């Protein structure tokens, strides 16, 4: 019997705990635009010299990077691949002298001396560990994109608010000075009224560009593949579908639309003041691998229309749209990417904004900001509600390219309007025995 089946009763422990709580917040009644500062743990609980401890779920790839950024705080690691677990545990042990190791995140959540968890799993494993961590009384730093589906994001937001937890999305560009400056200039009117925002995302850098697909095989002993698949539909093991390559298959991810779109659309939302809203319509064209070697787009162009008829155009392999975010206004443009901040006229970047211009949240370190907010119980720079709205835009773009239809989105109610079949695609069933809470 697989580990996920063996532990099914353990898995439902959080659900039973939830059932005895006084109230359950319905999704329809959840106001994603209103942040309620968590108060479950008072700021006084963390003294000036008290270390906030972290447990790390998913420690391969980006998980290793996050672990190193929280290294002074780390006391436990968890991964379904024992190679990742052992490597990460060695890093923590060398730094801190001790490290607990787990192959099931639910057991890590039972460790009472963990204050917060850092989730760096594949996208299809973001929602449940976040929800269960909130139910277990732990704060959460979860990688972008926040969710695999729009409905998952709503459930994650619900859990964070219901259990009064700090949940921060790992969209770290908000903690970089060039992105902050670009967005304050745009919000401050340095280029006048904005008509368009261009967002460039990366090509589908799957290994199939360099080699043909390989046959399915038996999963290696060091990988608990049943647990890796988790709530996603079952697929037979294939070496080129797991770990980094999960992001090229719809069952596990949303391709570069959710990988890089979750970064650059996030900046578009920040600069335009769209953190608590969303598009009104979405239209797209796309090209896919001619032999279907992977699921996600190889080229796409998605046009989102927001309030006041402002358009955000997302391009993958589009010659007129560069990687990053470009705001186009009446008086010029501002382009920002990692390590880059440019404008149509250099003097735009030197604009002195008025005292009445919007002042955006300042964070000089995304990981440190999370720890500060765990202690203070103040909202983080990329709160779960913000990550949810960014991920929603990414998911809507993918629905448009997958269906080829124009979508109409009610951002206030968070529903697709006029097409019940597509509206049902905002959520997905979970593979047994996994449930959505």
pLDDT tens digits, 229-280: 999 999 999 999 999 999 999 999 999 999 999 999 999 999 999 999 999 9
**Helix intervals (H) in 163-260:** 177-187, 225-229, 255-259
Q: What is the pLDDT of residue 209?
A: 73
CA distance 220 to 231: 20
Q: What is the CATH number of the domain that holds 16?
A: 3.40.50.720
Q: What is the pLDDT of residue 307?
A: 94
CA distance 371 to 380: 9
Q: What is the pLDDT of residue 37?
A: 38
Give the long-range contacts of residues 354-361, CB within 8 A, separation 24 or more. Answer: 354/188, 357/184, 357/187, 357/188, 357/189, 358/184, 358/187, 358/188, 358/273, 359/184, 360/180, 360/183, 360/184, 360/187, 360/270, 361/174
Q: What is the pLDDT of residues 77-116, one digit of tens each?
A: 999 999 999 999 999 999 999 999 999 999 999 999 999 9
Q: What is the pLDDT of residue 47?
A: 52
Please, how many CA atoms are within 13 Å of residue 112, restricted to the half-sphere of its CB? Answer: 0
**Could you tell me which residue, 162 or 3, shows the higher pLDDT?**
162
Residue 12 has pLDDT above 60, yes or no: no
* Confidence class for position 49, pLDDT limits 50, 70, 90: low
Q: What is the pLDDT of residues 407-428, one digit of tens each?
A: 999 999 999 999 999 999 999 9
Residue 19 has pLDDT above 90, yes or no: no
Residue 34 has pLDDT above 80, yes or no: no
* Residue 341 belongs to a domain: no
Using alpha carbons only, give the angle 176, 181, 184 rounded to the nearest 5 degrees.
125
Using alpha carbons only, give the angle 237, 238, 241 rounded to the nearest 5 degrees.
110
* Residue 204 belongs to a domain: no
What integer is the mean pLDDT of 21-48? 38
Residue 11 has pLDDT above 70, yes or no: no
* Residue 319 belongs to a domain: no
* Residue 268 belongs to a domain: no
* Residue 50 belongs to a domain: yes
* Residue 136 belongs to a domain: yes
* Residue 392 belongs to a domain: no
Average pLDDT, the chain: 90
CB 82 within 8 A of CB 60: no
Give the long-range contacts of residues 369-373, CB within 8 A, separation 24 or more. Answer: 369/168, 369/175, 370/116, 370/139, 370/141, 370/166, 370/168, 371/52, 371/70, 371/73, 371/116, 373/166, 373/168
Cα-Cα-Cα-Cα dihedral sign, residues 144, 118, 241, 424: negative
* Residue 267 belongs to a domain: no
Q: What is the pLDDT of residues 309-324, one digit of tens each?
A: 999 999 999 999 999 9
Structural domain harbouring 135: 3-173
Domains in the chain: how many in total? 1
CA distance 228 to 208: 22
């Amino acid at each position: 019997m697989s580990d996920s089946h063996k532990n099914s009763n353990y898995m439902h422990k959080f659900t039973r705990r939830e059932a005895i709580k006084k109230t359950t917040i319905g999704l329809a009644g959840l106001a994603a635009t209103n942040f309620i500062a968590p108060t479950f743990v008072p700021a006084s609980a963390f003294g000036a010299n008290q270390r906030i401890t972290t447990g790390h779920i998913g420690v391969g790839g980006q998980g290793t990077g996050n672990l190193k950024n929280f290294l002074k705080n780390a006391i436990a690691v968890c991964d379904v691949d024992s190679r990742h677990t052992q490597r990460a545990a060695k890093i923590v042990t060398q730094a801190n002298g001790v490290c607990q190791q787990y192959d099931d995140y639910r057991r890590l959540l039972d460790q009472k001396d963990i204050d917060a968890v850092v989730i760096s799993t594949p996208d299809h494993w973001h929602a449940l560990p976040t929800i269960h961590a909130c139910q277990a009384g732990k704060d959460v730093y979860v990688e972008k994109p926040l969710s695999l589906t729009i409905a998952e994001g709503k459930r994650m937001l619900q859990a964070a608010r219901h259990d009064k937890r700090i949940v921060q999305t790992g969209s770290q560009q908000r903690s970089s000075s060039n992105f902050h400056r670009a967005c304050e200039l745009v919000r401050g009117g340095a280029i006048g009224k904005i008509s368009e925002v261009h967002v460039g995302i990366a090509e589908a850098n799957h290994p199939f560009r360099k080699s043909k697909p390989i046959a399915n095989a038996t999963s290696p002993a060091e990988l608990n593949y049943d647990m890796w698949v988790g709530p996603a539909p079952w697929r037979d093991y294939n070496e080129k579908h797991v770990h980094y390559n999960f992001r090229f298959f719809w069952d596990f991810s949303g391709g570069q639309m959710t990988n890089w779109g979750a970064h650059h659309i996030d900046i578009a939302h920040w600069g335009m003041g769209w953190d608590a809203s969303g598009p009104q319509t979405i239209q797209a064209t796309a090209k896919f691998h001619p032999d279907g070697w992977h699921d996600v787009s190889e080229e796409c162009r998605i046009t989102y229309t927001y309030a006041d008829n402002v358009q955000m155009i997302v391009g993958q392999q589009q010659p007129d749209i560069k990687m990053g975010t470009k705001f186009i206004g009446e008086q010029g443009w501002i382009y920002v990417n990692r390590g880059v901040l440019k404008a149509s006229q250099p003097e735009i970047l030197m604009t002195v904004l008025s005292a009445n211009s919007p002042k955006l949240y300042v964070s000089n370190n995304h990981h440190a900001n999370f720890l500060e907010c765990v202690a203070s119980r103040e909202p983080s720079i990329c709160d779960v509600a913000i990550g949810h709205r960014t991920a929603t835009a990414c998911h809507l773009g993918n629905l448009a390219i997958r269906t080829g239809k124009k979508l109409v989105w009610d951002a206030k109610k968070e529903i697709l309007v006029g097409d019940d079949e597509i509206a049902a695609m905002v959520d997905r069933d979970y593979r047994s025995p996994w449930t959505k809470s």
